[in-house]
Structure formats: C-alpha cells, structure tokens
Amino acid sequence: MKRFFSFLLAALVVGHSYAQKRPNIVIIISDDHAYQAIGAYGNPYHATPNMDKLAKEGVLFQNAAVCNSLCGPSRAGLLTGKYSHKNGFKDNHSTFDGSQDSFIKQLHNAGYSTAWIGKWHLETKPQGFDYWKILPGQGIYFNPSFINMDSTREKVKGYATDIITDISTKWLDQRDTSKPFCIVIGHKATHRTWMPDTADLRAYDNVTFPLPANFYDNYEGRYAAAHQDMTIEKTMRLGYDLKMNPDTGYGKENFLSMNPAQRKAYDNYYNPIREEFDKLHLTGRALTEWKYQRYMRDYYATSLSLDRNVGRMMQYIKDKGLESNTIFIYTSDQGFYLGEHGWFDKRFMYDESFKTPLIMRYPQQIKAGAKESQLVMNIDIGPTMLQAAGVPIPKDMQGISLWNMLTKKQPLQRDAIYYHYYEFGEHQVRPHFGVRTSKYKIIRFYGDHDAWELYDLVKDKSEMHNLSDDAAYKKVFTEMQQRLLKAAVQYDDSLAIDLLKKDMLQ
Ligand code: SGN
Ligand code: CA
C-alpha cells in the first residue's frame, strides 16, 4: 500500500513537472538569408558567429527546403503546415485567410502564450496570437513603423533588426510565466535593399568576393532561367539597390525615413564610393563585377546585425534560465542567390532558393553539433513543434513531424520534396512545380511557356545541365515524372495533376 502511494505520488510529480516542462519555442525567421551566407553551412566570411554557435549546440539541417520560395507563401506554409494551394496564399498578392487553422492556434488552445513580432507580410491581421506587433508589408530598415494589435501605427526609432529583438524581449519579460510560450520573431534583414546598420557599413570593405563559378551562366537549355528579370547585370539598380544615387528618389522611404545622424553615416560611407564610381566609367563585365562586390558588401554587412540579434535572443534565453527547456530555431523564409547564375532574388526551384537555412537547438533532446541531411521542409516546423509540445497534429497538415527523427533517430518517411511556385510578375520567374530527391530534381514550368527540366544533383550541384532531353537519362526522366505525379496526388494539387495527366497522354 505504502509502495502504491509513493508510486502514485511519483507519477503525480512527474505528471506535474511534465505539464510545467512543455518546451518553450523561439522561432527566428529572417528574410532572404541565404544558407550559403552562414558559417555553419561552409561560408568563409565570419558573418554569423551566433548562428554558428546555435548550430554547434543543436542540429544543422543541410537539406531544408520551402514549399514555395517567396516571403508570404513561405510564412503561410510555416503557419499552416500546408502547401500554398491548400492554405490559399500562393503569391505575394494573396491575402491570408487568418480564420484557418495553424500550429500557433493549436499551441494556443493547448495553453501556450503566443506572439509574432516583426515581418509578417500576410496582409490580414495575425490570429491565434496573444500578442503581435508587425511591420506593414515589407517594412523598412531605419525608424520603421509597426502595426499594433489595435490597428494603430507606431514609428519606432532605431534600426529594424534591433527594434524587433527589443519588442520580443519586452513581450517575453511581461508574459504569463505560468504558461509555456511560442514566439516567432520575423526580421526584415537581409531583404532588399540590403541596408546595414550604420555601425556595420565598413565591415566588408577589405574583402573581395570571388565570383561564383556560374556567375556568367548562359542559361543554355533552360528557357525560364534565360527569361527571368533578376540579374545583377541588368535588374539590380545602381541607385536603388546599391545606394549610388539616393537623392534621385531611388532610395524611397528607406532613405527618407533616416534621421540626420543615420543619413550622415550613410553619406559619409557611400559618398566617397559614389565619387570613385563616377570616375571609373565602368561598362560591361567590369560594371557587373563592381555591382557584385557592392551587393555582397551590403548583404553581408546587413547580416551582421541579424546575427548579433540572434545572439541577443540566445543570451536572453540563457540569462532567464530557459535555455535547456526552449526549442530555439533559426530559419529564413527562403534561400537567395548570391550571384549564382548571375542572380539576386529567389523563387526558382534551384537549390540556392529552394533550400533555406534551418538550425534547431533543444539541449534536452537534440544532440549538439548534429548535421542532418534528410530532406525536410518549412511546413514540417509546425507539426514538429506540436509533437514536441504533446499536442496532436491535425490530420490535414501536410508537413510531417521531425521529432522522432531528431530525438529517437527514427527514419523520416520522406524520399522527395514537392515544390510549387506561382507568382509570374516582378523578376519574371515562370510558374513551376517539381520534385527533388537526394539524387535528382525534375521541374515542370508552365504558364506562357511549357518546359521540363531534369538535373542530376550528384554530378551537377549547380543545376546547369538540363537533362530532360538527354537519351541517357530517359529512364530517370520517366521515373521522376511518375514521382512528381505521385507527389502532386499525395498533396492533392489539382492544377499540377491536370497538367501532368495531359503531358503523359501526349
Ligand atoms: C519586393 C522586392 C523584390 C522581391 C519581392 C518579394 N522589390 O517586391 O525584389 O522579390 O519583394 O520578396 S523591392 O523593390 O520592393 O525591394 S519577399 O521576400 O517579400 O517575398
Ligand atoms: Ca523573403
């Protein structure tokens, strides 16, 4: 009897501490931060010491991809655990139906305190959050406005990346500590037009960045790649993007919102560069390469504050004694081109923009320093967090939980990643869908031009050789077409299914 009671007592204590011990969740989602810009992924420029530390203390996903490589669609995918055709947010002109289910709502219903701070970009008001404070649209870097929960707008002095962290820690300080929390911190950095904090402007002046091997890609055999509008050579603007002419109106609100001190710091930095540039009278490749160096300097300098602020959040969690029971995630809304194929921007299913950085730390259950090469997705984050929190995963979520893979080394039930991109507008990337396995990628472009692409990722990591018409790959092509159809059916993507069925009848 005595034994039974002590057992019961122990069970109650365990049960109680379990209830208390549901993990807290911090998700930092940056904007357009390329995985190849991060030290832990092999980048040599020391731009991300805090992200690298996070990777050392947690798991680095080497093959994490997004369902649709664009800000709004990616965030909608993260929230709902579903592809764009299911959550309704297909391109940046969509409006998010906030009444639908999300992993945040599930956590909230299960007793979590929830918040979203910073870039949101889903147009409608966030739902399922105890607190939110978001940038309108893209937001701006200097002295940005925020939308409050009562719909008022508030201009906050300072640099966006710092401010977003300040608001986040302030909410965490005031939260209901009897509950576990889930906070999503959405940064503006490193989105176009890559405006560094004033302290970081000179950070990369002494670095000359080598051109990616395919910088001068001729896009042979790849119609959509040849017909985009996102090259450093033609699309990137000297004034607007590279700050060579802010007074002509090119800088728009990003410059107009600066206070005199910020403006002075920018002028002091860019004026001499502008003067030198004017004297050089560059043309042709020399001009394109000069633009590339400026792009890289601005991009990496902008990422420094992002990394510092990831470090600030890590320190905050540590200082509050929350480190061991907090799942800490760093990711971006998609990858980005840093000159590969001659490009900036994203959207294409090629790896640089299809993949995204993903680092997850949970000292209690995830082995420090782990590297995970499994194919995982942004839409898996919600289901994974739900399982971690002991909340049932809604059946209609299409992402899958990574939790057993991470904590019990169980194999993940996925051999391919399905992708579907829709927006045919700015940057002129044709709509396409496809599937990627660890070895191959097949892509079906549609819209104003139908085309197939097939890549052998083992032999051609940079995806330069479209093998869809190569006789030696006929069998692979047919198998990958079938694999694609299977994925489209699995995810119930009727637009893709219809196109594929027509293709296969031909
Ligand atoms: C803006 C940018 C584009 C970028 C989209 C989408 N132009 O429109 O270069 O592709 O955002 O980015 S800008 O002149 O406004 O900078 S996303 O990350 O929000 O999807
Ligand atoms: Ca983005």
Q: Which one, of 289, 384, 366, lies nearest residue 78 by Cα?
A: 384
> What average pLDDT score do residues 336-361 get?
98
Q: What is the reported pLDDT for 256?
A: 87
Reported as a pLDDT band with limits 50, 70 and 90, residue 1 is: very low
Q: What is the reported pLDDT for 13?
A: 41
User: Considering Cα of 35, then 38, then 40, then 42, what sign does the dihedral take?
Assistant: positive
Compare 127 and 20 and report the one with higher pLDDT: 127
Q: Whose CA is nearest to atom 16 of ligand 1?
A: 192
Give pLDDT tens digits for 271-297: 999 999 999 999 999 999 999 999 999
Atom of ligand 1 nearest to the CA of 72: 20
- Do β-strands 451-456 and 440-445 pair in parallel, antiparallel, or remain unpaired? antiparallel
Q: What is the reported pLDDT for 10?
A: 45
Q: What is the reported pLDDT for 505?
A: 77
The finding on whether 192 has its CB within 6 A of some atom of ligand 1 is yes
Q: Whose CA is nearest to atom 4 of ligand 1?
A: 345
Q: What is the reported pLDDT for 271?
A: 92
Q: What is the reported pLDDT for 11?
A: 44
Atom of ligand 1 nearest to the CA of 346: 10
- CA of residue 94 to ligand 1 center, whole Å: 14
Is the separation of the CB atoms in 66 and 334 below 8 Å? yes
Q: What percent of the chain has pLDDT over 70?
A: 95
| Both structure tokens of 96 | 């998010």
Contacts of 267 (CB under 8 A, 6+ apart): none
Flag whether pLDDT at 404 surpasses 50: yes
For residues 147 and 34, give the distance between their C-alpha atoms in angstroms, rounded to a whole number.
27
The finding on whether 345 has its CB within 6 A of some atom of ligand 1 is yes
Reported as a pLDDT band with limits 50, 70 and 90, residue 19 is: very low
Identity of the amino acid at 108: H
Q: Whose CA is nearest to atom 7 of ligand 1?
A: 192
The finding on whether 92 has its CB within 6 A of some atom of ligand 1 is yes
Flag whether pLDDT at 249 surpasses 80: no
Residues β-bridged to residue 456: 440
- CA of residue 15 to ligand 2 center, whole Å: 41
> What average pLDDT score do residues 424-446 get?
98
The finding on whether 191 has its CB within 6 A of some atom of ligand 1 is yes
> What average pLDDT score do residues 255-260 get?
91
Atom of ligand 1 nearest to the CA of 230: 9
Q: What is the reported pLDDT for 96?
A: 97
Burial class (CB in 10 A: 0-12, 13-18, 19+), 370: middle
Q: Lowest-pLDDT range, 18-27, 64-73, 182-191, 485-494?
A: 18-27
Q: Whose CA is nearest to atom 12 of ligand 1?
A: 71
Q: Whose CA is nearest to atom 2 of ligand 1?
A: 192
- CA of residue 401 to ligand 2 center, whole Å: 24
Reported as a pLDDT band with limits 50, 70 and 90, residue 248 is: low
Mean pLDDT for all residues in the chain = 95
Flag whether pLDDT at 342 surpasses 60: yes
Reported as a pLDDT band with limits 50, 70 and 90, residue 245 is: confident
> What average pLDDT score do residues 190-204 get?
97
> pTM higher than 0.85 for the full model?
yes
> What average pLDDT score do residues 145-152 get?
98
